[in-house]
Amino acid sequence: MQIKTIDQLHQVKADAIAALKARNDAKTQIILGMGTCGIAAGGRAVLAAVEEQIKKLGLEDKICVYSTGCIGMCHNEPLLDVVRPGEDRVTYGSVTAEDVEKIFAEHVLGGNVFKNKAIARIPLEGAKAVDLPAYSEMPFYAKQRKNALKNCGYINPDSLEEYIAADGYEALAKAVLALTPEDVIEEVKKSGLRGRGGGGFPTGLKWSFCRKSQGPKKYIICNADEGDPGAFMDRSLLEGDPHAVLEGMALGAYAIGADEGYIYCRAEYPLAIKRLNQAIAQAEEAGVLGDNIFGTDFSFKLHVKEGAGAFVCGEETALMQSIEGQRGMPRPRPPFPAVKGLWEKPSNINNVETWGNVPCIIRNGGEAYAAYGTEKSKGTKVFALTGKINNPGLAEVPMGITMREIIFEIAGGIQDGKKFKAVQIGGPSGGCMPEELLDTPVDYDSLIAAGAMMGSGGLVVMDETTCMVDVAKFFLTFTQSESCGKCTPCREGTKRMLEILTGITEGRGKEGDIERLQKLARSIKAGALCALGQTAPNPVLSTIRYFRDEYEAHIKDKKCPAGACQKLISYRITDACKGCSLCARNCPASAISGELKQQFVIDQSKCIKCGVCMNNCRFAAIVRE
């Protein structure tokens, strides 16, 4: 059915809600988290086990099975939800194929929650509650506020009808039928939404520049080239709620006067690309994308462009070069894309999360969105939580929350009871924050003052076993290898910095290396062509700023305090050795020798410093120095 009026949209919504209710009243639902994280954790095997049980028990007419996106609890994947008619939705975590038979026997058929794997419940209106905490009562979710991710994990991303049932395309209908383009821009300005891709530029202001540019042809672009190590926010939104991104882009197109758009998504995201293409086809068939949307003269067509995975294509001018079929390399600005962008036409680029926020802003009003956050950083921000934490996953929190709350309440603290050391925020372009800055509010300006930056939202937590010099080397290795090579400061400067860092971690550091790193960093920041080059030194500068003592220990004492730099550590067998020979038998380099019941010794010239001997010693007789 082509949706050409607001009444038709409301009718489709009413029909979808009625169909969902009829299904829920008649059948038990089994919902599987089949985002990339769920699949990687073994979701396909769980799905196969579910289908086998249904067939074995002859329940084909009584059970409905479908997939959804990531709900955020990546640490509990695979996730399987059961919704019996008239009862709350129950979530099971870390489910294996072997658990499925027990869940069917206890819960699906028996009506009793299988407590061994049950995590929480999602309360449903008018449903019978079960004896489990609600999601909102869990520490992982208690401080989260969902805007961009409100549908992820809750709706079937393959279903346009379910998106419409969740108020989908209401904002687009409201905009094209009742608001002028200037009204839409003004609402986005009221919201205080800043670009969620890293720069934090005010979104409404950016749109207004492109709106004012002259010319009959303009483009809207979505930057889905998420390349930061440890970042998966955009991927999860595309996989879990693709129509929200399409609707956001259509609203942006209406606001600036564009009739065509591109989603530039890295090819390493096959599921996201599949769901995007499917969502575009569904939206065009329904008439909410394409020609004469809602019966107006506004038309908008979307294309998906697959990127080859170059980190530099996260920079907007390099991204446009790639869409045009050229090598992805930044170009000087001005002119800015709002004046001369894709194919030299005025263009507006925002990232996935920015577009995902737009529908709720237009639907509920900019002031409602601005009720969250701080004075200069409004709304919510999605973070990918990774590293040495107990609860890796995806969290959407109000701006202004502290880093301590995110790490120790939402992310569950540090693994194995170890001590927190630092958190890297903003990816390769960001910086490392030490323990004394954990109470820093998470907003654009506070993070920059701390020597970090918001970035796209990757958050990597490190414990006491992490070497901060090695961390700086890791991120600089990444940015140096990903440099497009166009400008000398980035191409050559990052290479020289990496050479110095490598020397420091291998025991070849010398006096003055820290100062040389700082001087090179200043030159790169001042002279690099694009933002990726200008921010490449940030991890080095922030680790020097907060962990200078570690650099000095590497250089002066030739020691790695964290015991992470292999060429600066050694293993020694103490007189606590019982001569059991277990270390020698497990040594992959045959570097350990000795007589039974006598103290064994390590040949340092053969030792590859893998630590296998220490891990296998039953008497704590081997020490790392």
Beta bridge partners of residue 426, listed in sequence order: none
Closest Cα partner for 530 from 486, 564, 589? 486
Nearest to 231 by CA among 387, 462, 78, 358: 387
pLDDT at 22 over 80: yes
What's the number of CA atoms in the CB half-sphere (13 Å) around residue 109? Answer: 12
Whether a cis peptide bond, with omega within 30° of 0, leads into 85 is no
Q: What's the mean pLDDT in 51-67? A: 95
Judged by average pLDDT, the poorest of 42-56, 72-86, 224-238 is: 224-238
Average pLDDT (328-341) is 93
Rounded distance between C-alpha atoms, residue 410 and residue 144, angstroms:
8
d(Cα 371, Cα 360) in Å, to the nearest integer? 13
Give 337 or 625, the one with higher predicted confidence: 337
DSSP state of 202: B
Local confidence band at 199 (pLDDT 50, 70, 90 cut-offs): confident
> How far, in Å, CA of 108 to CA of 100, rounded?
10
Q: How confident is the model at residue 129 (pLDDT cuts 50, 70, 90)?
A: confident
Q: What is the C-alpha to C-alpha distance for residues 429 and 442, in angstroms, rounded to an integer?
A: 16
Mean pLDDT of the chain: 95
What is the CA angle 323-327-328, rounded to 5?
Answer: 65
In whole angstroms, how large is the CA radius of gyration of the chain? 27
Instruction: Reply yes or no on whether the pLDDT at 250 is more than 90.
Output: yes
Q: What 3-state DSSP class applies to 194?
A: strand
- At residue 430, the pLDDT reads 87
Evaluate whether 130 touches 90 at the Cβ level (below 8 Å).
yes
* Residue 229: predicted pLDDT: 85
Is the bond preceding 270 in cis, omega lying within 30 degrees of 0? no
d(CA 70, CA 38): 7
Q: What's the pLDDT at 11?
A: 96
Centre a 10 Å sphere on the Cβ of residue 131 and count the other Cβ atoms it contains.
8
End-to-end CA distance of the chain: 71
> Residue 214: CA atoms inside 13 Å, Cβ hemisphere, count?
0
Q: How many C-beta atoms lie closer than 10 Å to residue 393's C-beta?
A: 24
The reported pLDDT for the residue numbered 463 is 96
Rounded Cα distance between 535 and 448, Å, is: 12
Q: Are 517 and 501 in contact (CB under 8 A)?
A: yes
Residue 39 CB partners (closer than 8 Å, separation 6+): 271
| Mean pLDDT in residue range 137-162 | 96
**Stretch 446-473: mean pLDDT:** 92
d(CA 324, CA 322): 5
Which pLDDT score, from 0 to 100, does residue 251 have?
98
What pLDDT sits at residue 625?
83
Q: Determine whether 21 is exposed, middle or buried from the number of CB atoms within 10 Å of its CB (0-12, 13-18, 19+).
A: exposed
Which residues lie below 8 Å from residue 265, measured CB to CB, with a gap of 6+?
222, 224, 225, 238, 272, 273, 276, 304, 305, 306, 307
Is pLDDT above 90 for 394?
A: yes
What's the mean pLDDT in 294-315? Answer: 94
Taking residue 588's Cβ as centre, other Cβ atoms within 10 Å add up to: 9
Percent of the chain whose pLDDT exceeds 70: 100
**Alpha-carbon gap, residue 188 to 553, rounded angstroms:** 50
Residue 330 pLDDT: 94
* pLDDT reported for residue 454: 87
Give the amino acid at 625.
E
Query: Residue 457 has what pLDDT?
Result: 86
**CA dist., res. 489 & res. 344, Å (int):** 27
Determine the average pLDDT of the residues in 471-485.
93
H or E segment at 54?
helix 43-57
Q: Which helix (H) or strand (E) holds 361?
A: helix 352-364
The DSSP letter of residue 343 is G
User: What is residue 197's predicted lDDT score, i.e. its pLDDT?
Assistant: 85
Q: How far apart are CA 103 and CA 166, in angstroms?
A: 29
**Mean pLDDT for the stretch of residues 50-75:** 96
Instruction: Output b/e per residue, 181-215; b: 16+ Cβ within 10 A.
Output: beebbbbbbbbbbbbbbbbbebbbebbbebbebee
- DSSP 8-state symbol, 34: -
| pLDDT category of residue 551 using cuts at 50, 70 and 90 | very high
Q: pLDDT tens digits for 494-515?
A: 999 999 999 999 999 999 999 9
CA-closest candidate to residue 338, choices 330, 346, 350, 326: 346
According to the model, what pLDDT value does residue 453 have? Answer: 86
Q: Which residues pair with 623 in a beta bridge?
A: 572
What is the CB neighbour count within 10 angstroms for residue 259? Answer: 16
Alpha helices (H) in 157-300, listed in sequence order: 160-165, 170-178, 181-191, 203-212, 233-240, 242-256, 270-286
- Which positions ≥6 away from 216 have C-beta within 8 Å? none
Give the pLDDT confidence of 565-613 residue by residue, as tens digits.
988 999 999 999 999 999 999 999 999 999 999 999 999 999 998 899 9
- Distance CA(422)–CA(426), nearest Å, equals 13
Residues 440 and 274: their CA atoms lie apart, in Å, by 39
Instruction: Read off φ and ψ for residue 118, nearest 5 degrees.
Output: -75, 135
As a whole number, mean pLDDT of residues 338-342 equals 96
Q: How crowded is residue 285: how many other Cβ atoms within 10 Å of its Cβ?
A: 14
Q: Is residue 461 within 8 Å of 547, Cβ to Cβ?
A: no
615 close to 599: Cβ distance less than 8 angstroms: no
pLDDT digits (tens, 9 = 90+) for 252-290: 999 999 999 999 999 999 999 999 999 999 999 999 999
Q: How confident is the model at residue 543 (pLDDT cuts 50, 70, 90)?
A: very high
Copy the structure tokens of residue 302: 């979307």
**What is the rounded CA–CA span in Å between residue 492 and residue 569?**
31
CB 108 within 8 A of CB 30: yes
120 to each of 66, 135, 349, 393, 415, how far by Cα in Å? 19, 6, 39, 16, 22
Give mean pLDDT, residues 84-95: 95
pLDDT reading at 37 higher than 90: yes
